[in-house]
Amino acid sequence: MLPVTQGVPTLFIRRPAYERAGLTRAALDERLGLTDAEFQVDGELVALGPIYDVDALGTLVDDLEGAGLVYYDDFFELSGSWPDWLDVVVRGAGKRPATGAS
């Protein structure tokens, strides 16, 4: 499980999509100015953040989409907009079974 910082965006990428896009930690660290604590992997989920450079985040989102990743299906930006009395912790759920009758 990954803690998420309040007030600052965090980008979550499904690990298979991260690998498919050919992303590297070194390039993302340099691009976003991340520290060791701001790049986390938990199971099938990669978390980047908190990301303080919102312009760099926007450009990265555009580049991810340009690489064929789909916002919401492959990656998601959590804005950090919630009250400071609330702690948010995220974990990847994996594939969910289809619902409904077949």
Q: Which residue's structure tokens are 């978390």?
A: 47
Using alpha carbons, list the distances in angstroms from residue 51 to 9, 19, 29, 58, 93: 6, 21, 11, 11, 23
Alpha carbons 102 and 98: distance in angstroms, whole number: 9
Range(s) of the domain holding residue 23: 2-87
Which residues lie below 8 Å from residue 89, measured CB to CB, with a gap of 6+? 1, 2, 3, 4
Q: Is residue 24 part of a domain?
A: yes
pLDDT tens, 2-14? 888 889 999 999 9
Q: Total structural domains in the chain?
A: 1
pLDDT band, residue 96 (cuts 50/70/90): low
CATH number of 76's domain = 3.30.70
Q: Is residue 101 part of a domain?
A: no
Q: Is residue 92 part of a domain?
A: no
pLDDT tens, 64-95? 999 999 999 999 999 888 898 988 888 888 66
